[in-house]
Amino acid sequence: MNLNTPIKPTWCPGCPNFMILAGVKKALETCGKKQNEMAIVSGIGCHAKIFDYINLPGLNSLHGRVAPVCLGLKVGNPNLTVLGFSGDGDAYAEGMEHTIHAARYNSNWNYIVHNNQVFSLTVGQPTPTTEKGFADKTMPMGVKTQPLNPIKLMLASGASFVARVFADIQQVEWVLKEAIKHKGFSFIEIIQPCLIFHPSIGYKEKTYSLEKTKHDKSSFDQAWKKAQEFDYNEVKKIPLGIFYQVEKPVFEDQLPQLAKLKKAGKSWKDIKR
Ligand SMILES: Cc1ncc(C[n+]2csc(CCOP(=O)(O)OP(=O)(O)O)c2C)c(N)n1
């Protein structure tokens, strides 16, 4: 499988998005799917450039609209493995309503949010996950609001797989393969420091792996408790790994119109009507 494209990345030198790209490619190459069984979607922002660097079909969509496009792909071809790439601005500001409903629908696709706690492409304005007090040229008086905790949001919205990793090749590869195996909506947040506008200094040192603890990922109460350890404001401990994973009815599996396609392993365009 050759996932390379001729397009030269325009991310800043050293951007953790390069680690995410490498981890994603490794996961796709080894997840057991063929190249023509996968599709990718992205929003708008630095994260979204990943669309140009992976040789898979899909859509570089509109700002905040990753989730409905992924749902549309699954309804058009339930046999596709779909990966949607978003940013914290894309997923939690402009696309907030879609993010909530994606968790609620439990369609079988993977939502990967590169969270750098700022709108990077538009030069560093605060997003819903920026810490209180953060100040820069665009917000010289500092942020006055409390940040949103996306792990809590996804748990409360009904997501059946909720995970967070750091922008590290091995972590991204591992979590993505787990998410692809999961039947249902998989939410993965990747902490992706932006070296220019939000370097997240000291974050990596505070991370630890839930997989190395006694965490029971089938327990909503334990997941909720772990989600509160990092409030995106104060960096004391940052749990990484799978917070929550359970089986729930998958949206497209309940649609009788799609049963024929699923059984035949085909998409609408291959079916004679
Ligand atoms: C409808 C719409 N509103 C606003 C914009 C401007 N815009 C482009 S990228 C972006 C920020 C993206 O931030 P984020 O999703 O956090 O991605 P990052 O650049 O940090 O990876 C914004 C607001 C747009 N392109 N379209």
Q: From 93, 127, 92, 131, select the one nearest 111 (Cα to Cα).
A: 92
Q: What is the pLDDT of residue 45?
A: 98
Residue 19 near residue 172, CB atoms below 8 Å = yes
Average pLDDT, the chain: 96
Q: In what order do the strands lie in the sheet with 238-245?
A: 58-60, 38-42, 81-87, 110-115, 186-191, 161-166, 238-245, 207-209
* Cβ within 8 Å of residue 88, ≥6 positions away: 113, 114, 115, 116, 117, 118, 127, 128, 129, 150
Ligand 1 within 6 A of 74 CB?
no
- 271: pLDDT strictly greater than 70: no
Q: What is the pLDDT of residue 273?
A: 58
Q: From 163, 161, 155, select the one nearest 220 (Cα to Cα).
A: 155
Q: How far does the centroid of ligand 1 lie from the alpha carbon of residue 79, in Å?
A: 30
Domains of the chain: 23-263 (3.40.50.970)
Q: What is the pLDDT of residue 272?
A: 65
Amino acid at 145: T
Amino acid at 12: C
The answer to whether the predicted template modeling score (pTM) of the entire model surpasses 0.85 is yes
Tokens of 204: 């990596």
Q: What is the pLDDT of residue 259?
A: 86
In this structure, the residue with its CA closest to atom 11 of ligand 1 is 119
Provide the Cα torsion 189, 35, 81, 188; round to 10°.
-10
* Whole-number percent of the chain with pLDDT over 90: 92
Tokens of 107: 């369609």
Ligand 1 within 6 A of 65 CB?
no
Ligand 1 within 6 A of 17 CB?
no
What is the tens place of the pLDDT at every residue in 71-124?
999 999 999 999 999 999 999 999 999 999 999 999 999 999 999 999 999 999
Ligand 1 within 6 A of 114 CB?
yes
